[in-house]
Amino acid sequence: MNFNIASISGDGIGPEIVREAKKVLDVVAKKYNHTFNYTEVLMGGCSIDAHGEPLTKEALETAKASDAVLLGAVGGTVGVDKWYDLAPNLRPEAGLLAIRKGLGLFANLRPSFLYDELKSACPLKESVADAGFDMMIVRELTGGLYFGDRKTETVDGVVTATDTLKYDENEIRRIAIKGFEIAMKRRKKITSVDKANVLDTSRLWNKVIAEVAKDYPEVVVENMLVDNCAMQLVKNPAQFDVILTENMFGDILSDEASMVTGSIGMLSSASLGATKLGLYEPSHGAAPDIAGQDIANPIATILSAAMMLRYSFDLDKEADAVEAAIKQVLKEDYRTVDIMTEGMKQVKCSEMGDLICERIA
Ligand code: IPM
Ligand code: MG
């Protein structure tokens, strides 16, 4: 089959990790007789440098016209990079928010599981790591604090900044349905994460979740406060199947969930909407501190490419082959520096990509 992929390398380590993901996709194409056509699209800091804005209208149109978007990462070092002083809607990250919103990608899936081979890289104590875990974070992606009105103004001589947290019931319902559909294909448990002891948006969230739950009687639903969830993730991650939550909570909890897998370099993500078009990116950022050194871990991006095969292209066999190749490479003790432990064989980003390519059956 023939698929058109908008490819966004972005900033920092973005070009290095996207290169490896494409290498893997090209091997898949050859082995399974598909054609992947890539259109390069600028987004983030590189787009600001070239066009003065983080995502041009043309770039968004290219993404819209494709079958899927593969993304590395955008942004620099917050606080010190050359884009920091720009208005919020002109910074690199604004490009990411604009493409998520522009493509209607309201559901962000972030799977977090512990490979047997990486148990020694897990920062949790042995008894917790030994129990293993396998969860899917389903994060609302186009609402909440990220997209509410914001401003900085001087009120009575005092500089005052405001961000707005807003959700309507329809936004909550559609992500809830996505979460329940995913839970039905897994272990049928949802932990809905909120701050209902303080926030109105969380109370509405819980009400809508309870309504949607009636259509999925097989799914066990529990509500958990976000601060408790942060604690439970390091205390007993095995308890979670699907974590369903709003945008900001999901951003924070998914970083935590990734770190307990051993490295944030292992966590992939898929952003989906109402159609087959999805955006696939690692959950981590652009890591400018290690850019250009060929030491980044490309696995999260390659796993994201596997999610693209599965969710946007319905190529399950091919996605399985990529995931199996990653597992095999880990089994053979190859590690990038972020997941390196004693006795393992340390490899560079590009070597990791090659090793995975060679093991695609
Ligand atoms: C993520 C990132 C982004 C987010 C940033 C770069 C805007 O942290 O994808 O988790 O907060 O959504
Ligand atoms: Mg994040």
What CATH number has the domain bearing residue 178? 3.40.718.10
**Judgement on whether residues 130 and 246 belong to the same structural domain of the protein:** yes
**Best residue for ligand 1 mutational test, from 69, 96, 252 (most atoms within 8 Å of Cβ):** 96
- Residue 303: pLDDT band (50, 70, 90) is very high
Q: How many domains does the chain divide into?
A: 2
The answer to whether 255 is a known catalytic residue is: yes
User: Is the pLDDT reported for residue 120 higher than 90?
Assistant: no
Whether residues 75 and 88 share a domain: the answer is: yes
In this predicted structure, what is the pLDDT of residue 143?
Answer: 98
Residue 198 has pLDDT above 90, yes or no: yes
Q: Is residue 233 domain-shared with residue 303, that is, in the same domain?
A: no
* pLDDT digits 0-9 by tens, 16-26: 999 999 999 99
pLDDT number for residue 70: 98
Ligand 1 atom closest to Cα of residue 108: 9
Query: Looking at 227, 314, 316, 333, which residue is catalytic?
Result: 227
Mean pLDDT of 289-296: 97
Which ligand 1 atom is the nearest neighbour of the CA of 73?
6
Can 317 be counted among the known catalytic residues? no
Model confidence at 121: pLDDT above 90: no
Instruction: Identify the active-site residue in 67, 194, 251, 294.
Output: 251
6 with 92, same domain? yes
Q: Which of the listed residues 191, 226, 260 is the one where a domain comes to its end?
A: 260
Last residue of a domain, one of 207, 227, 260: 260
pLDDT tens per residue across span 142-191: 999 999 999 999 999 999 999 999 999 999 999 999 999 999 999 999 99
Q: Nearest ligand, CA of residue 286?
A: 1
Beta bridge partners of 154: 159
Q: Pick the atom of ligand 1 nearest to 74's CA.
A: 6
Same domain, 51 and 104: yes
DSSP 189-224: EEEEEE-TTT-HHHHHHHHHHHHHHTT-TTSEEEEE
pLDDT of residue 205: 98
Task: For residues 239 and 339, state if they share a domain.
Answer: no
pLDDT of residue 263: 87
Nearest to 353 by CA among 21, 9, 70: 21
Q: Given pLDDT bands bounded at 50, 70 and 90, which one contains residue 193? A: very high
Mean pLDDT of 50-68: 98
Percent of the chain predicted with pLDDT > 90: 94
Tell how far the Cα of 284 is from the centroid of ligand 2, in angstroms: 7
- Residue 354 predicted with pLDDT over 90: yes
Range of the structural domain that residue 110 is part of: 1-114+264-361
- Which residue in the block uniquely carries the two structure tokens 């095995």? 238
Q: Which residues line ligand 1 (CB under 6 A)?
A: 75, 93, 96, 251, 283, 285
pLDDT for the residue 278: 98
Asked whether residue 274 falls in the same domain as residue 235, the answer is: no
250 vs 244: CA distance, rounded Å: 8
pLDDT tens string 215-232: 999 999 999 999 999 999
Which pLDDT belongs to residue 88?
Answer: 85
Asked whether residue 167 falls in the same domain as residue 222, the answer is yes
* pLDDT recorded at residue 350: 98
More confident position, 79 or 191: 191
Let me know whether 130 and 252 are in one domain. Answer: yes
Q: Is 227 designated active site?
A: yes
- Are residues 204 and 333 both part of a single domain? no
Q: Whose CA is nearest to atom 6 of ligand 1?
A: 93
The model's confidence at residue 233, banded by pLDDT at 50, 70 and 90, is very high
Question: What was the pLDDT predicted at 262?
Answer: 86
Annotated catalytic residue: which of 11, 23, 146, 167?
146
**Is 251 labeled as catalytic in the residue annotation?**
yes
Say yes or no: 198 and 272 in one domain: no
Q: Is 149 a catalytic residue?
A: no
CA distances from 215 to 62, 181, 201, 220, 361 (A): 37, 10, 22, 12, 40
Other CB atoms closer than 10 Å to residue 52's CB: what's the count? 10
Assign 78 a pLDDT band (cuts: 50, 70, 90). confident
- Segment 280-303 shows an average pLDDT of 96
Same domain, 255 and 177: yes
Q: Domain ends where: 260, 293, 323?
A: 260
State the closest ligand 1 atom to the C-alpha of 93, by its place in the atom list counted from 1. 7
Pocket test for ligand 1, best of 93, 139, 245 (most atoms within 8 A of CB): 93
CB-based contact 6:66 (threshold 8 Å):
yes
Which whole number is the average pLDDT over 52-68? 98
The closest alpha carbon to 359, from 27, 3, 4, 120, belongs to: 27
